[in-house]
Amino acid sequence: MDKLAIVVPCYNEEEVLKLASEALRDVLADLVQKGKIAGDSFILFVNDGSKDRTWELIEEEHAAYPVQVSGVKLAGNVGHQFALTAGLITAKDMCDVTISIDADLQDDVAVIEEMIDKFHEGNDIVYGVRRERKTDTFFKRTTAQAFYRLMGLMGVKTVYNHADFRLMSRRAVEEFSKYRETNLFLRGMMPLIGYQTDNVYYDRKERAAGESKYPLKKMLALAFNGISSFSVKPISLILGLGLLIIFCSVLALIYALLSYFTGHVVPGWTSLILSIWFLGGLQLLAIGLVGQYIGKIYIEVKQRPRYNIEKILHKGNNSDEERTTADEE
């Protein structure tokens, strides 16, 4: 029987944690009862350096349900993508299959069963895909759609309308853990792993409690990271733009020479000043973009550990003591 670990990154989720734990425990109990997963399947809450009582609540849940609820405490806030990675890599040695889901219960826990079925059909990755975005604001919906389109144009393979609600087999996580990059964009990395994959569809709900931990700033950062971590197209765009502008300036030069030899007055300084500003701006833009890549190289070559697990609460088959580790993974 396959042992399932449900990995839940949590940042300041005290309002919703107990609800999430209850809902997910119900799902586990149901699946165990139907004989689809092993009896010691569990939920792994990853506390991403929360400033509220999230970790205390995870400890309470673990005390009350030692088999079903485990916890990982990261030493500080590393962000959703890293927290999830920490959870998945920690979970992979304790289980046969993982499912990642947000703590806020926006993703429909009812399709977890369908994911497990698809896993048993031989899929190594099963993507949870949102059917509609009714519950999102108009702004979030349009920006998200523009983002997926832009990603496509930039040549990054992603699963449309899939966030990080996803089943991964143990060997898929194993493979994923070999990707050593620090600029993480999980959605873009999963298709690179390969293996047989499938989708399940669901409607995304409102947050069960609390408010979004993804303000516009973090969303934009995620989008930019997604594109710049996977594509060098922006650089070729700069090249193309540069060529175009050189071509235009040659035309302008010819025009200037012609007007000079035909005795016309030299054009006023307006056009001159405009072109100085335009080119100046363009150069700054180009340098800035190139700089982004250099910045990434800089960060990658440092090879810093991507997270730091402070404590693991887990009651497995053979051990029920707390593990305390200070190292990555």
Q: Which part of the chain contacts Mg ion (CB under 5 A), choosing from 9-17, 96-104, 172-180, 292-300?
A: 96-104
Question: With contact defined as beta carbons under 8 Å apart, do 73 and 55 qualify?
Answer: yes
Q: Which of 92, 166, 187, 213 binds ligand UDP (CB under 6 A)?
A: 213
Q: Which of 195, 201, 214, 224 binds ligand UDP (CB under 6 A)?
A: 214
Q: Which of residues 85-114 bind ligand UDP (CB under 6 A)?
A: 102-104, 106
Structure tokens, 6: 């449900």
- Name the 3-class secondary structure at 142: helix
- Rounded least distance, CB 37 to ligand UDP, Å: 22
H-run or E-run covering 273 = helix 269-302
- Rounded least distance, CB 218 to ligand UDP, Å: 7
- Does residue 104 belong to the site contacting Mg ion (CB under 5 A)? yes
Q: How many residues does the chain have?
A: 329
- Rounded least distance, CB 13 to Mg ion, Å: 10
79 contact, one of ligand UDP, Mg ion, none, CB 5-8 Å limit per kind: ligand UDP
- Does residue 197 belong to the site contacting Mg ion (CB under 5 A)? no
The residue type at 129: V
- Does residue 165 belong to the site contacting ligand UDP (CB under 6 A)? no
- Rounded least distance, CB 272 to ligand UDP, Å: 48
- Does residue 6 belong to the site contacting ligand UDP (CB under 6 A)? no
Structure tokens, 206: 């409102």
- Rounded least distance, CB 133 to ligand UDP, Å: 11
Question: With contact defined as beta carbons under 8 Å apart, do 18 and 113 qualify?
Answer: no
Q: Which of 70, 90, 98, 106 binds Mg ion (CB under 5 A)?
A: 106
Question: With contact defined as beta carbons under 8 Å apart, do 106 and 204 qualify?
Answer: yes
CB atoms within 10 A of CB 132: 12
- Does residue 9 belong to the site contacting ligand UDP (CB under 6 A)? yes
CA distance 309 to 319: 19
Structure tokens, 43: 């939920």
List the one residue out of 320, 304, 37 whose CA is nearest residue 169: 37
H-run or E-run covering 311 = strand 309-313
- Does residue 166 belong to the site contacting ligand UDP (CB under 6 A)? no
- Does residue 80 belong to the site contacting ligand UDP (CB under 6 A)? yes
CA distance 309 to 46: 9
**Interface with ligand UDP (CB under 6 A):** 9-11, 13, 48, 77, 79-80, 83, 102-104, 106, 212-214
